[in-house]
A and B are shown apart, each in its own frame.
Chain A
Amino acid sequence: MSPRKAYVRAIVVTRGRPEYLARTIEAITYQGRQPDAWHIVAVGADEPDREQLGIPEALDVELTGVKARTFGQAVSAVLESVEPEEHEWLWLLHDDSAPLPDALGELLAIPRKRRRAGVVGPAQVRWDHVQRAVNVGVTVSAVSGRRVSYSDLDDLDQGQHHTREDSLAVGLAGAIVKRSLWDKLDGTDPAYGRYGDSADFCRRAWRTGADVVLAPKARVRHAQAAMYGRSDPADTDSDHRSTYARRRAAEWYHGFAWAPAWAVPLLAVWMLVASLSRAVLRVASSDLRMVSAELRAPIVLAASMPRLAASRKRVARATGEAGVVERSLLASGIDVMRHMRARELGSYEQWQARNAPKDVQRRELSELATRRWWAFGATMLAAAAFAGLLFGTWLAPLFRGDMIAGTATGSTAVSWADMWQRTWTGWADAGLGAPALDGTWAALMLPFAALPGGLAVSIGVLLTASPLLAAASAWAAIGSLSRNLAARALGALAWASAPTLVQSVSDGRIGAVLVHLLLPLLALAMVRAVAVQARDQLDGGEVFPATRPGSPTAAAAAAFLMACVTVAAPVLLVPLALATVVVTIAARGFRRFAAAVAVPSLVLHGAALAYTWTHRGEPGWWRLLVRESGPALPSDPAANWQLLLGIAQQPPDWPGLVAAGDTALTYLPGLALLAAAFVALASGRSPVPVRIGWAIAGMGLTVAIVSHHTVALQPTVDGVAGANGWPGAGLSVMMLGFLVAVIAALRPAPKPQVGLTTRTIALREARPPSPVPAVATMLIAVALLGHLVASAWPGRPFGGDMHPADPQVLPLVAALDLATDPKTRALVLNRDEDGAIAFSVLTRDGSTAMLGYGHLDSRGRVQQPDRYDNGSIAVLDQRAAVLAGGGEGALEALRRWGIGVVVVPADDTATVDQLSRVPGLVVMAASDRGFTWRVVGSTEDTDARVTRARVEDPELGTDWLPVDSASGRVAVGPGSAFRTVVLAVPPSDSWVARFNGEELESRSERGQLVYRITQSTGLLVVEYHDSAYRRWWWAGVAALAWIALSAIPLHDRRFRRERP
């Protein structure tokens, strides 16, 4: 072909973006080789206005208005009205694709040497940066039609693409297409809409035997205005994610159109799976918008499915001899992987590269890091020594197989299966059983129970190492507030030796301990989420890292930690949620991150919140908000000023001191911290963080006072004595606040930045460094050291009653009776020091609070209030008294409630003596762990067994039913028509019994659940199923899964936008 013979018809399609169009027209007029004919097609306008579109009057151009949905349709509409010329080439241009000078000449140079060239595409470059490539040809993956670019995004043009010629597809914007080919292929496929039509057209071109060639030296600035949703070049805040779903759908459409017919259904399945998994990945990268885009793509695709048959026909029509060439140009799996990697990680790598420290800084940072590691090591060593001196004696028994147990926790040897059962079913099996409000506490304990060694070891280690863990978490958190190593070390040690932590550990208040350990991490995550963390200050006055991008990952971590904290101490839910609201309002630019933090906690506490809302105004409506879910104990009265000084319970006496010394040592740390916080407030240094610290402290004190004065736990027959709330969680929050205030005030003033005015520098230099911070630090250090040494003084009791104990609590025969069918319950009578009999009904080996307390069912109905409200349960403590007094008449109630075993500790000979005289009790065994009696099944049949679930037949007698804690199934043989199934549990709607699949009608009889069986034989299934509980459970799981995925630190586009 001779260039002289080429007839070039330029067709510019505009969508009414005059800003772009003007530049494009201008660029065309600057071409060395001018097109022979020139059309401007205004889409959507019947009679386009030249002036409005900014087309100069002098320009010889034919302006047409068409109604067209796609670029191809607009081009075809023009071509319909003009006859084809010989060797006619169409130069297809968008209004936002401005060719660089000589672009047309370079394009037309290709067909001279490539006679088969049907499509010649330019290198598309960025509108605002012509050295950066946008599109230098693309290919698609063989199966799914995924678009794979030959160049990386924003690739700098260094001539690396100049050797490229063959390309599966080129961008049609700026490309020249042989008119005959356009007509033969009937233009682009309108089914694609705005995206993916080029690839399809070029691929069909290859099919028909025409070559698609890239002309790298011909460059066209392409703004991709449609993709980015821009209307003029000045708009830089636009985002191509808005069009993602449509682009993704177009890629899949390509795959569907080109796949063999048999593969289409498989492709459909593949597409759904891929979309869902990509959506999960998007969750992990905390990109909510893209999650919805990924999920929208299949819907958009489904909408275009009616056009698929036509598209497939179009593909089928495009036949020629070049099928092999086309296939060889498709992207391989490796190409796709490389492309994805470049796209997904490229932006993070760029961010990293931009923020890498300079060589000068690097040395300084390394010195800082070395100092930091030394300080960290020393702090941890001190904290470990403190932990070892206080609780070290627990370690040997722990690894010998003992557990650490106390009145609050009960047995900590609980299997993960029990934990799972408790959280999944919503049935609290302890005592006589009760529906549960939620299973969050058991869920929180589940990971501990799943660790090697089980719950006993992991909780034991957690408690033993809690000062060390607290120091580590405080160290991390304080680092986000101050980079001063002395402040970090002192703060971490103060946090590790907090009286409230030591008291909580020794009392076994696991919830308060967890709060103390997690609270600093929550603060850290929150601070990083809203990008206000402290940064290393370098000598030059610079800070490192230079930028602080807010972190959705940190926000997700904060959400997760807040969920854990509020589950451990529900009393913190409302204050923390309110705090999140305040942060959300204050954290401009990061509101979305901050707002999401409280959501999972609110969902997890949904049942409690719903109850509180529906019962608002009633007496005690707020009580679920101050409940304790896990181990709880009543605490001694404490005055509010004692709480202010961080003391919720008087610690044991200090070694070798008189009363005044005791008082001084007890309150000194709290007093020192309070005084320091006052000084911080009065000094006026770092006013904002100091005031925030005071606000947090005020909130904490309020929580502490409120929890101290409210009933957090009601007494129940499973041995729960009832308790007021433990102020520990609130005191931890208060201490955190005071530490924030003090440490913020200790922060050094920012070093003068290079470039500050000389006057400022002069002012800074004129002021001598104040000795106050140094002196204050010294005083705090001395007070803290004194407190640490006194606390860990060898031989000093640390209070509480947590102690190593054998995990086998009950005598073996009793434990076996509870664990094997026919299952029964055990009544344990245990004489207190004051001679009163403490009774508990057990369903497992030992009382435990580690499964969490039931409180209410998920609909907020009180199932097991105090004993005076429910006759059936009130009976039990009277029966316990009768037994302990050696009286008669107690056993009938025990039998009805499935209590088949009575246990008395071996050392309580008086009670053993009394029980020995009770007719109907048969001694099973006597061992070091206690005396065990079996309750004889009935006075007539001494072999009959006492069980928790039974079938009572007036003719055939009573038979037991195999059950676990919340369900059971058994094949029932023939019997009389008046048989009943009796479940020895308090009545609840959520218990369902089915006989041969048919639901049996339940009734409450003497406080128990009774069902009548009328059919002869069949399968009896009983189950506890609380649908409201289950709905909240799944909502909680979804919320947790969401934040767990989001908390995975996948790097993402956020690195493109950052804040200094």
Chain B
Amino acid sequence: MMRTVGWVIAALLAVAVPAYLFTPGNPPVANFDEGHYDIVPADAVSGCAGNLALPVGASVGDTDTISSGSDDVRFSAFVSDAGAPASIGVATATDAVAATTIERVGSGDLAGLGAFSCSEPQTETWLLGGSTALGESSRLVLANPSPTPTNVEITVYGPAGPIDPPITRALAAESSDSLLLEGIAPDLGSMAVHVAADAGGVVAAIQDSRLDGFLPVGTDWVHPSDPPATSMVVPGIGPSDPEGIDGPAVVRLFSPEGGFISMRLVSTAGEVLLAGVGGVTLEPGEVIEVDLPASAVGTLLVEATSPTLAAVRSSVGREPDEGLEGDVARDFAWVNGQSAESTRSVAVTTHYSVTVAAYATADTTMRVFRWGTDELLMERVLAEGETIEAPLRVDAGTPVMVEGDVVWVLRVADEPGYVTTVEPIDPDDEARPVTVRPGPYVP
């Protein structure tokens, strides 16, 4: 009897135990949900590039001789809301969300227009522009407007790739610094600069000043670019005039990982044929420049197999104040490529002649508002792929916001042939998702 009971129990166990053991078991996740929040970042202090400076000091001569400096310098700063930029050394800082500085140098080596859209410090900045070839100077300005000190690592890329080793700089809180890249990486006709900063980041800019002998051939600020992307739109370029006084517009391309890049040029008059330069192959870290064919003001569309940066330098020629017959002085403007999904939407206008150069990425209505108000300043219906250039007649210092599926830039020009661009910025007032959870801190 007992034996039978024993067998029955054993048989039951033989069935029940495996059945139980093979039941999938899930431990209870401790009842803690991650916290998901949307946080609007506080407005950070923006940094501006400051004044243009002669790369190697002014040589002052009498009226008969050539003078590198100029006594015809007009510097203006326009802000969207708060006070004017304050000096933090060679650069300036402002609490305003959007601000533009513009400087007109009427004579000397730096003759021309240079504008800069003040921006928030970033921990990673790409600057595509500048040259350290003979007669050409690239002055890197680093501004740390934040209350946190930061360490900066600068890597210069040239036609043959990165220049080793990277340069490091420490920046105190609310301070700035400048250095001449020709001292570090000379003889680079085309270059890209990567600035990595810890802590609160920095605002970086390059003052690209060029001479042709004694003739000034342009000065402009190279504005921080969007991060590399496989699709870039460069609006507001040209006019390109390779055979004429203005000279060709030049596109500079850089791809950290290398790859094949194809380009299309769309002017206000329609698509321009890029004979022979429609596609190029880049080695990783290589920076190249390609002259663009003659065209009206337009937009360059860049498609690449890997994330790429593109920027275009467009120049305008003029007769020099001094010089020989046939000499041409020039000024140029750098325009960065923007990704098609760019959220840059705000810029502050300046005096001189301001036009909006835009490219429609889709069929859209482009509306220009006075930023922060409903005041419509301009409205245009655009078809996909259409590029326009339209004068913007508003007071200097007007913060404008552009709505619509467009990539745009403000072109500023003045007599006798000075040009520059004001790049829009992202006002960054949107909430960002942040996920938090308790977690121990173990090194």
Contact = CB atoms under 8 A, between A and B. Distances in A.
Interface of A: 405-407, 409-411, 634-641, 644, 705, 708-711, 713-724, 805-806, 809-810, 828, 830, 832, 835-840, 842, 846-847, 849, 866-867, 877-878, 880-882, 884-888, 903, 906, 909-910, 912-919, 922-923, 926, 929, 931
Interface centre among B20, B26, B432, B442 (most CB of A within 10 A): B442
B441 A722 contact: no
A917 B41 contact: yes
B326 interface: no
Given A406-B442, A916-B147, A881 B39 contact: yes
Nearest to B151: A926
A289 to B, nearest CB: 43
B146 interface: yes
Interface residues of B, number: 49
B32 A722 contact: yes
Contact of B25 (A639, A711, A849, A909): A639
28 contacts: A410-B442, A637-B24, A638-B25, A640-B22, A708-B25, A711-B28, A711-B30, A711-B31, A721-B439, A722-B31, A806-B443, A836-B34, A836-B437, A838-B437, A846-B442, A847-B442, A866-B31, A877-B438, A881-B37, A881-B435, A886-B39, A887-B40, A912-B200, A916-B44, A917-B41, A917-B120, A919-B42, A931-B148
B97 to A, nearest CB: 12
B200 A719 contact: no
B199 A839 contact: no
A405 B442 contact: yes
Contacts of B21: 639-641, 644
Interface string B35-49: 101011111110000
B123 interface: yes
B173 interface: yes
A916 to B, nearest CB: 3
Interface string B147-166: 11100000000000000000
A724 B198 contact: no
Contacts of B173: 923
A885 B25 contact: no
Contacts of A809: 441-443
Given A720-B440, A805-B442, A913 B201 contact: yes
Contacts of A405: 442-443
A810 B42 CA distance: 26
B23 A639 contact: yes
Contacts of A407: 439-440, 442
Nearest to A410: B440
Contact of A909 (B23, B31, B199, B443): B199
A918 B44 CA distance: 8
B15 interface: no
A869 to B, nearest CB: 11
Contacts of B201: 909, 913, 916
A849 B31 contact: no
Given A913-B121, A917-B44, A923-B148, A839 B30 contact: no
A391 B43 CA distance: 50
A721 B442 contact: no
B199 A926 contact: yes
A639 B24 contact: yes
Nearest to A880: B436
Nearest to B147: A923
A839 B434 CA distance: 12
Contacts of B440: 407, 410, 718-721, 838, 840, 847, 849
Contact of B200 (A836, A917, A922): A917
Contacts of A638: 25, 27
B148 A885 contact: no
A931 B197 CA distance: 14
A838 B27 CA distance: 22
B29 interface: yes
A912 B24 CA distance: 43
Interface string B194-231: 00011111000000000000000000000000000000
For the complex of A and B, the 4 pairs showing the least CB-CB separation, nearest first, are A722-B30, A838-B439, A885-B39, A916-B200
B226 to A, nearest CB: 17
Contact of A840 (B27, B197, B435, B438): B438
Interface in B37-75: 37, 39-45
Interface of B: 18, 20-32, 34-35, 37, 39-45, 120-123, 146-149, 173, 197-201, 432, 434-443
Contacts of A838: 436-441
Nearest to A431: B438
A507 to B, nearest CB: 13
B439 A912 contact: no
Nearest to A925: B149
Contacts of A914: 41
B41 A640 contact: no
Nearest to B32: A715
Contact of B438 (A715, A906, A923, A926): A715
A714 to B, nearest CB: 7
A825 to B, nearest CB: 13
Contact of B22 (A641, A715, A903, A909): A641
Given A708-B27, A931-B148, 10 more contacts: A407-B442, A715-B31, A721-B440, A722-B438, A723-B30, A885-B37, A886-B41, A906-B198, A913-B121, A915-B148
Contacts of A846: 441-443
A887 B199 contact: no
A217 B148 CA distance: 104
B25 A705 contact: yes
A644 B434 CA distance: 41
A91 B200 CA distance: 109
B434 A837 contact: yes
B203 to A, nearest CB: 12
Contacts of B24: 637, 639
Contact of A912 (B32, B199, B441): B199
A884 B442 CA distance: 18
A365 B441 CA distance: 56
Contacts of B432: 885
A929 B26 CA distance: 38
B77 to A, nearest CB: 21
A405 B22 CA distance: 35
Nearest to B201: A913
A837 B22 contact: no
Nearest to A827: B441
Contacts of A918: 42
A923 B122 CA distance: 18
Contacts of B32: 714-715, 721-722, 866-867
A628 B24 CA distance: 24
B436 A884 contact: yes
A924 to B, nearest CB: 10
B441 A916 contact: no
A724 B27 CA distance: 7
Given A721-B32, A881-B434, A637 B27 contact: yes
A635 B27 CA distance: 8
B32 to A, nearest CB: 4
A888 B42 contact: yes
Contacts of B146: 916-917
Q: Which residue, B22, B30, B121, has most C-beta atoms of chain A within 10 A? A: B30
A715 B28 CA distance: 13
Contacts of A721: 30, 32, 437-440
Nearest to B435: A836
B28 A724 contact: yes
Nearest to B199: A912
Nearest to B45: A917
A945 B86 CA distance: 30
Given A407-B442, A919-B42, A931-B199, A882 B22 contact: no
B26 A637 contact: yes
B395 to A, nearest CB: 30
A637 B23 CA distance: 12
Contacts of B199: 909, 912-913, 916, 923, 926, 931
